[in-house]
């Protein structure tokens, strides 16, 4: 009977440790996930801005040499990220696909002009600079018309600023929630051992002696949880890189190593501090208050 009770108690202790590790892992994973989003926010912002550009509609009957010179000159501009040339035939096919009918056969000729799409570098995709860029592009004799979406540029930049503020606020809020959740999880785990703590104290064990095994176990739980959360984050990072290679910045490995190390260190620190405070609380309580 005693052996069965001992076995049941051991299972209960392991179950408590496991639930604590799972809880800490999940909150550390959520925090790490937010860290990954923050690290890639700049890359996502740049990707959005670099898909903003100008459409240059060209004069008729440009020679191949004139067209080549224009493209080379545009590529050398400091604001140019990339350019795409669309000839009259390609433009007609694209419009035909959008309209669902062949307007060239109906009209008897192709009314569309060739065009060059100039996509900007992220730093130049702001309202003040696009006005100057528009003036510079209109000076080319080969360019008949310059078109771009002014409202879109303003809206994109405003949204990026709003998202940055929201991300900052959410990061602070989540950090507070993570600390509170881990602290409560550990306090509940220690609560189940409050009678053991008080018994050890009553037989003469010092506070440091009683706290030591609990703190050691808390630190171990933090390390295990941190490593599991890191493995989960690596899985998410690999999946994101496979599915969104242009949006996920994986070149700077050091940043991710710092993020993973921070997750583990945070798990250890919070577990250490929370365990110490929880044990100290029960050491100070009177025996009658434990019930």
Last residue of a domain, one of 113, 148, 183: 148
Assess whether 198 and 286 both reside in one domain: yes
Query: How would you label 28-65 residue by residue, b for 16+ Cβ within 10 Å and e otherwise?
Result: bbebbbbbbeebbbebbbbbbbbebbbebbbeeebeee
Number of compact structural domains in the chain: 2
pLDDT, mean of residues 18-31: 80
Last residue of a domain, one of 148, 180, 209: 148
pTM for the full predicted model: 0.58
User: Tell me, what's the pLDDT at 6?
Assistant: 47
Assess whether 286 and 162 both reside in one domain: yes
Tens digits of per-residue pLDDT, 171-225? 788 777 777 777 777 777 676 676 777 777 677 777 677 778 778 888 888 888 8
Last residue of a domain, one of 148, 172, 203: 148
Question: Is the model's pLDDT at 2 over the cut of 50?
Answer: no
Assess whether 58 and 41 both reside in one domain: no
Question: Is the model's pLDDT at 1 over the cut of 50?
Answer: no
Assess whether 64 and 39 both reside in one domain: no
Q: The domain spanning residue 74 has which CATH number?
A: 3.30.70.3040
DSSP code for 249 = -
CA distance 205 to 246: 60
Assess whether 143 and 168 both reside in one domain: no
> Could you please report the per-residue DSSP string of 112-131?
PPPEEEEEEPGGG-SHHHHH
Tens digits of per-residue pLDDT, 50-99? 887 888 888 877 788 888 888 889 888 898 888 888 876 776 676 667 56
- Domain span holding position 43: 2-47+156-290
Assess whether 276 and 163 both reside in one domain: yes
């Amino acid at each position: 009977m005693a052996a069965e009770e001992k076995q049941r108690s051991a299972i209960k202790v392991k179950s408590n440790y496991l639930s604590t590790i799972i809880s800490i892992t999940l909150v550390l994973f959520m925090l790490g996930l937010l860290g990954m989003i923050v690290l890639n926010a700049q890359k996502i912002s740049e990707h959005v801005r670099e898909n903003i550009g100008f459409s240059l509609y060209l004069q008729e009957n440009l020679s191949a040499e004139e067209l080549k010179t224009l493209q080379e000159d545009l590529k050398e501009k400091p604001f140019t990220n990339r350019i795409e040339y669309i000839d009259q035939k390609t433009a007609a096919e694209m419009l035909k696909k959008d309209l669902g009918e062949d307007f060239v056969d109906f009209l008897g000729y192709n009314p569309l002009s060739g065009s060059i799409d100039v996509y900007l570098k992220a730093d130049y995709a702001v309202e003040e600079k696009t006005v100057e860029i528009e003036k510079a592009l209109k000076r080319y004799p080969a360019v008949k018309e310059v078109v771009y979406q002014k409202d879109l540029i303003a809206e994109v930049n405003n949204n990026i600023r709003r998202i940055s503020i929201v991300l900052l606020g959410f990061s602070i809020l989540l950090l507070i929630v993570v600390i509170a959740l881990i602290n409560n999880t550990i306090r509940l785990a220690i609560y189940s051992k409050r009678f053991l703590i008080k018994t050890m104290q009553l037989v003469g064990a010092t506070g440091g002696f009683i706290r030591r095994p609990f703190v050691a176990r808390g630190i171990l739980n933090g390390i295990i949880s941190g490593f599991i959360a890191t493995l989960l984050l690596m899985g998410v990072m690999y999946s994101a890189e496979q599915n969104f290679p242009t949006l996920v910045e994986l070149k700077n490995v050091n940043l991710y190593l710092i993020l993973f190390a921070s997750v583990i260190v945070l798990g250890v620190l919070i577990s250490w501090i929370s365990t110490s405070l929880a044990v100290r609380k029960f050491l100070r309580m009177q025996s009658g208050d434990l019930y």
